[in-house]
Every structure is written in structure tokens, then in C-alpha cells.
A and B are shown apart, each in its own frame.
Chain A
Amino acid sequence: MNGIHDLGGMHGLGPVVREENEPVFHEEWERRVFAVLNLTMAAGQYNVDELRHAIERMAPARYLESPYYEHWLHAAEDLLDAKGVVTQEELAQRAAEIARRSSAEPLRTDEPPRGAAASRRARDAGRGRSK
């Protein structure tokens, strides 16, 4: 498709901004998205070409504005809904439940730690982001 993703040769997008000593992930949710995408692909829920095409179908303005791992998140939600594995309705309901729970508790952006990697992630999660 002649989509917004096909960027080669476009003008007007600004300078290339490089971050010194950039961390592998900037926020905890990016780690989770990276892992969930790879694990759902490993489990055969969709393939890499379907993933790329789902990203290409994002709303063009959103594609340009959103942080990179939001593209992956969008694709996972879109494909899992289309295949009936996890529906939009389930996701909306679960997100609302989590939001309700966390508003009744002290503000928390992370899942409770599950072992050493998780507590390190929780510690690192406070770092800034570049986008």
C-alpha cells in the first residue's frame, strides 16, 4: 500500500536526533510490548509480514506522532482482535478494570515485580524518554 510507512525520499521531517547513551528501552511498557510481540509471534498468532502490514494501516498522523513501540502495540491489538484471540471489547474492559484498580490504590505504572528482572525494570522505568 502507498502508506505513510513508505518514507524513503520524503522531505520536511526534520533533523535526525540522536540520543547519547540511549538505553535499550526507555519505559517499562516498551519492554512489555517488545516481549509480548515476540512471544505471540513465536506462538504462531501472526507472522512478521502481518505485523508490518498492521503497522502500515495505522492512522498516518498517529504513525508519525507515536513512540515506536506504540506501533507494535497497535499491531498486536489489531491482529489479535482480527483473529478473535483477544477482542477489542475484552481489551477495553480489562484496561478499564486496571485503571479503576490503580485509581483506588497509590499511583503505579508497573505490574508488581515478578523476580529480579522485574524489580530492576521497575527501578529503571523512571528514566526519561526521547520521543
Chain B
Amino acid sequence: MKPRSPHNEPPPSPALRIQALESLLIEKGLIDPGAIDEIVELFEHRIGPRNGARVVAHAWADPQYKARLLANGTQAIAELGITGLQGEDMIVLENTPRVHNVVVCTLCSCYPWPTLGLPPNWYKSAPYRARVVIEPRRVLAELGLELTADTEVRVWDSNAEIRYMVVPMRPAGTEGWSEERLAAIVSRDAMIGTAVPTVEPREGARHR
């Protein structure tokens, strides 16, 4: 549904529609205008994949933490102070030389917000949602990740209220690194399962 517009006028743009809706909701006292800025600030600047990268780096550095993380994701992530909306019930999956995990939501756009932030457009796009369940190897190859035939690919379709993230394999050559340095090579896509960390981050990889 969209607001009706008179004939010969283009339909209102999303920018105009949300301005109309927002102003009416504020007038009716149904939302606090200050809360709008606050929630945008949180998700644009405070909650994002650096949180998840801290979790992964800590798991790489501390085998006992990793064991807790894989046994009870929600609790172990909360140990690092990371909790909240769309991460209430988390399962953490471990990539190994034999098993590669990749996460999708074929029905909408479910994604673990507290650890990874809001999802990128490609994750929410029709091609990714349609294809990664039926031809994951091809999708991953197109995204630059070639898997050998003897690797088992597990696709996790997060269709309910459980949210998933991946602990990628720690690359060789990172022995003795600090957790901060380790976290810097863990990209968002590595925690979705569409990329793997490398010792030399590619240009822009920190944001992916």
C-alpha cells in the first residue's frame, strides 16, 4: 500500500512517504523524535561487525572461550558485553578444513545485529537468497571463495528466531598476534561465511 496520489502526479517517493509517516507518528505521540536519532546513531556507529570480530579473535586466542562459544553462543557473546535485538538467541558455527558454513535468510533478511550490525544489501538481495541454498559453491566462487570438493558445505537458512554467525579458520602466520591485531583481519563476510580471513587484508576488507 502507498498513500494515494491524484492522477497525473508521480507516486510519493519513499523519502516523502517516511516524512509524512514520521511527522504523523510524532504528532500522535507514538514515537519520540529524539529516539529516532538515538537508534540511528547506535546502528550506524556503535553496533557493527567489529563486535563480531572481537568475538572471533577472542575465540582464536582462547580455546576455552571458543569451546564455550560453540556450546552456547548467546552466553559466550554476552561475556564480551555484546547482547541485544536480533541476537537474543545465537548459534556460532565453526569452519574447519572439512566443513564450511555459510548463513542466509531465504525468506527475508534475518541477521545477527549485535555481532554483525545491519546486513549489507547483497545479503538481503534476491539473488543471494535464491541461489546460496541451491548452488552455494557457485555463489561462493563468484564471491572469490573456491572450495575443494572434499569440503562439506553447510548452508544455514535462518528462517526462525535463531541467529547464526561463523567463526572462520584462523589463518597461518598469525601465531602470537594480539587479539586486536587478529580482530582486524576478521571481515564481516568471513562471519557470514562468504569470505575467509587472510593475513594481508585486501583493500576495503575491513568493512566487508
Contact = CB atoms under 8 A, between A and B. Distances in A.
Q: A and B touching (C-beta < 8 Å)? A: yes
Contacts of A92: 3-5, 12
Contacts of B14: 29, 33, 67, 69-70, 73
A29 B16 CA distance: 8
A104 interface: no
B208 A73 contact: no
A70 B109 CA distance: 13
B37 interface: yes
B114 to A, nearest CB: 14
A74 B18 CA distance: 10
Interface stretch (B24-32, B59-67, B146-154, B166-174): B24-32
A7 B1 contact: no
A19 B189 CA distance: 12
Contacts of B36: 32, 35-36, 39
Nearest to B157: A8
Contacts of A10: 126, 130-131
Contacts of A68: 109, 121, 124
A32 B143 contact: no
B73 interface: no
A94 B25 CA distance: 11
B1 A21 contact: no
Interface residues of A, number: 68
Given A20-B208, A111-B19, A43 B127 contact: no
Contact of A43 (B16, B24, B30, B204): B30
B120 interface: yes
A96 B156 CA distance: 45
B16 A95 contact: yes
A117 B25 contact: no
A74 B1 contact: yes
A68 B128 CA distance: 14
Given A16-B122, A76-B21, A98 B16 contact: yes
A18 B125 CA distance: 10
A34 B18 CA distance: 10
Nearest to B31: A39
Interface string A63-81: 0100111100110111011
B52 interface: no
B39 A38 contact: yes
Nearest to A58: B1
Nearest to B117: A24
B99 interface: no
Contacts of B143: 16, 18
Nearest to B47: A24
Interface in A46-65: 52, 55, 64
Given A8-B106, A32-B22, A115-B37, 17 more contacts: A7-B107, A7-B130, A16-B132, A16-B139, A19-B120, A21-B207, A34-B39, A34-B118, A43-B31, A45-B30, A67-B14, A68-B121, A70-B14, A74-B1, A85-B28, A88-B1, A130-B121
Interface of B: 1-5, 12-25, 28, 30-33, 35-41, 43-44, 48, 85, 106-109, 117-118, 120-122, 124-134, 139, 142-143, 157, 204, 207-208
